Structure 1
Amino acid sequence: MTPEAQKSIRIPDAALVRELFGIQDKHARMIRKTLGVELINRDDNILLIGKSVNVSLAEELLSLLMQEKKISGDITSQKVEYFLQQLIQGNSNSVQEFVSEPIYMTAKGKTIKPKTVGQSYYVSVMQEKDLTFGIGPAGTGKTYLAVAMAVKAFGLKEVNKIILTRPAIEAGENLGFLPGDLKEKVDPYLRPLYDSLFDILGYEKFQKYMERGLIEVAPLAYMRGRTLENSFVILDEAQNTTEEQMKMFLTRMGIGSKTVITGDVTQIDLPRGKSSGLIQALEIVKDISEIGRVYLTQQDVVRHSLVQKIINAYENKK
């Protein structure tokens, strides 16, 4: 039988100890269940008891969580669970890289930063490349992080304008038959992009930028015939572009622009007989090293924990 090891970690901040243990010791129970390591709060110390290798993992976990607390301001159950998974899988270096500076602080003071190693890689690729494809299932933060990067670039005066677009597939990109003015017609299709901007900028700043023409939110059809210069351009729901639309969009890139294309190749809603421009584009540009391609997975889902389990269940059914 392997003898138990013990390790004492001095943490004189009682509030930090409470956060590490979690509400009603939820985090401590997660660590005990996953690693078999007992956490004991003893004066200004946390005592770790368990198998030597697992005690070392628990010590590394607590160190990472304390770093994360300094940067983002909180320790959530989701972060504890995610860090545990990565450490068990031997991804210690990746987790260390993930604990990074925030991308942006929202109008309400919320810190925006990658929440998984995959998201951290996605952000680094967007920083490095002028054209990035972000592919993955719903809930992986593809669009939200891209919008945050766009707002950051705009704030640093790296670009003069933010342009967000989607194919209005439900209306076949032909909005003429719909009632109302342009805004009324396109709002239902572009609402998720508005929501991201509202959350990050706040309503007043968003309205001010829109009125000045510094932010544009429009259906993909309105990109035709334009050259998009000195802009941060995001094409969302790109799996629902046709091959012709995707080629049109890719050739809109102008000098001084960054472009991010997001999509989920498992959720294509094109009419029968139409092929996805996203799938074709990924194949066509695969050998162009200047183009970034990031594939997020169910491990990067940051919505309710049930979302990841639902995605896994569907994947297992295939």
Structure 2
Amino acid sequence: MARTEIAFPSLPNARLLFGNQDVNLRYLETSLNLEAHSDGNSVRLVGDASAVDVAQKALVALYETSKQNRDVTVSEFAEMLQALQGGETARGGCILLTNDKRAIRPKTPRQEAYVEAIRENDIAFGIGPAGTGKTYLAMAMAVDALLRKRVKRIVLVRPAVEAGERLGFLPGDMAEKVNPYLRPLYDALYDMVDAERAQHWIDQGAIEVAPLAFMRGRTLNHAFIILDEAQNATHEQMKMFLTRLGFGSKAIVTGDLTQTDLGSGVRSGLARAVDILA
């Protein structure tokens, strides 16, 4: 029989972690066949050593979620227990709980550092090859910010190099012109929220799409802006984009410097920005 006590720094956050009437602790008791008793900002665990270890790791990991000043849900504890009992390492807190109750969270140390950089800075860069999660995690952070009303809209931006930036010659309105270039971001969005809510956001202007070339002269306040495929932005475009941020806004710039479609001899604005700002 193992016993351990965990004290958390913040009483309000501990209450968010334990849940209303300690519902999350009751879930741990049922799932792991142990005892979990709260006392202010601390919790005492009693049970089999392996069960106590899993419960402790889950509580410590999900305490990071409570620091976002929101309730930690039973679903998030269920996801965390599944990950821990499956042998995965408990990494930072859940970013977002999807429509089908899946918890989106960083899975590697680099992803964890990326998410932390987004949380801590007004501008963050995510650079790496396809499949590293940079675009998906950026969208998860944006959706979470919109749901919590930390921002009023999400703005999705991409250079349309394939069309030579001459979007006026393409059929349809602005969204129809640029949507094909933003497919990865839309795929991520529809994976996180139901189609009805996503379409409502788009119809109400809470989600806006914009080609990079059309950002000149704008100031974006209270917005979460994602510039995807930024390796295809020129130096002038990157400088213009980085000066669009207004009050209460956050920007994430993602790209793969090995996959630029710019013409021969044209240096990527993303590479220049990283050299200066990194």
TM-score clears 0.5:
yes
Amino acid aligned to 1:139 = G
My pick for the range that moved more, 246-255 or 175-184, is 175-184
Question: 1:272 is matched with which residue: 264, 273, 276?
Answer: 264
Question: 1:72 is matched with which residue: 61, 79, 98?
Answer: 79
SS state of the match for residue 176, structure 1?
Answer: helix
Q: Distance in 2 between matches of 1:211 and 1:180?
A: 16
My pick for the range that moved more, 256-265 or 151-160, is 151-160
Kindly provide the CA deviation profile for residues 262-284 of structure 1, in whole angstroms up to 9, marking residues without a partner as x: 11112212122221000001112
Question: 1:218 is matched with which residue: 180, 195, 210?
Answer: 210
Question: 1:187 is matched with which residue: 170, 179, 183?
Answer: 179
Question: 2:168 is matched with which residue: 173, 176, 180?
Answer: 176
Amino acid aligned to 1:150 = A
Residues 160 and 211, structure 2, Cα contact 8 Å, conserved in 1? yes
Q: Distance in 1 between matches of 2:142 and 2:53?
A: 34
Q: Which has the higher contact order (CA 8 A, sep 6+)?
A: 1
Alpha-carbon distance change, 136 to 62 in structure 1, aligned in 2, over 3 angstroms:
farther
Amino acid aligned to 1:246 = M
Q: Which runs of 5+ in 2 are unaligned?
A: 3-28, 34-46, 62-75
The CA deviation at 1:185 is: 2.2
Tell me which structure has the larger Cα radius of gyration: 1
Question: 2:221 is matched with which residue: 218, 229, 232?
Answer: 229
Alpha-carbon distance change, 252 to 124 in structure 1, aligned in 2, over 3 angstroms:
same
Question: 1:133 is matched with which residue: 114, 125, 130?
Answer: 125
Q: Distance in 2 between matches of 1:106 and 1:14?
A: 24
Question: 1:201 is matched with which residue: 193, 197, 200?
Answer: 193
My pick for the range that moved more, 171-180 or 236-245, is 171-180
Kindly provide the CA deviation profile for residues 122-147 of structure 1, in whole angstroms up to 9, marking residues without a partner as x: 11111111111111121111111111
Q: Distance in 2 between matches of 1:71 and 1:118?
A: 24
With the length of structure 1 as denominator, give the TM-score of the two structures.
0.62
Q: Distance in 2 between matches of 1:265 and 1:144?
A: 18
| Number of equivalences | 225
The CA deviation at 1:64 is: 5.3
Alpha-carbon distance change, 175 to 61 in structure 1, aligned in 2, over 3 angstroms:
same
Listed as ranges, the matches of 1:95-174 within 5 Å are: 98=91, 100-174=92-166
In percent, how many aligned pairs have the same letter?
51
Q: Distance in 1 between matches of 2:131 and 2:55?
A: 27
Kindly provide the CA deviation profile for residues 143-193 of structure 1, in whole angstroms up to 9, marking residues without a partner as x: 111111111112222111111111112112221222344333222111111
SS state of the match for residue 191, structure 1?
Answer: helix
Alpha-carbon distance change, 61 to 269 in structure 1, aligned in 2, over 3 angstroms:
farther
SS state of the match for residue 173, structure 1?
Answer: coil
Residues 161 and 261, structure 2, Cα contact 8 Å, conserved in 1? yes
Q: Distance in 2 between matches of 1:277 and 1:239?
A: 7
SS state of the match for residue 180, structure 2?
Answer: helix
SS state of the match for residue 197, structure 1?
Answer: helix
Alpha-carbon distance change, 71 to 142 in structure 1, aligned in 2, over 3 angstroms:
farther
Q: Which runs of 5+ in 1 are unaligned?
A: 1-7, 18-43, 48-58, 84-94, 287-318
The CA deviation at 1:246 is: 0.4
Q: Distance in 1 between matches of 2:207 and 2:30?
A: 45
Aligned to 1:89: none
SS state of the match for residue 258, structure 2?
Answer: coil
Kindly provide the CA deviation profile for residues 81-116 of structure 1, in whole angstroms up to 9, marking residues without a partner as x: x64xxxxxxxxxxx6xx2x32111112222111111
Listed as ranges, the matches of 1:47-66 within 5 Å are: none
SS state of the match for residue 159, structure 1?
Answer: coil
1:243 aligns with 2:231: no
Alpha-carbon distance change, 16 to 136 in structure 1, aligned in 2, over 3 angstroms:
farther
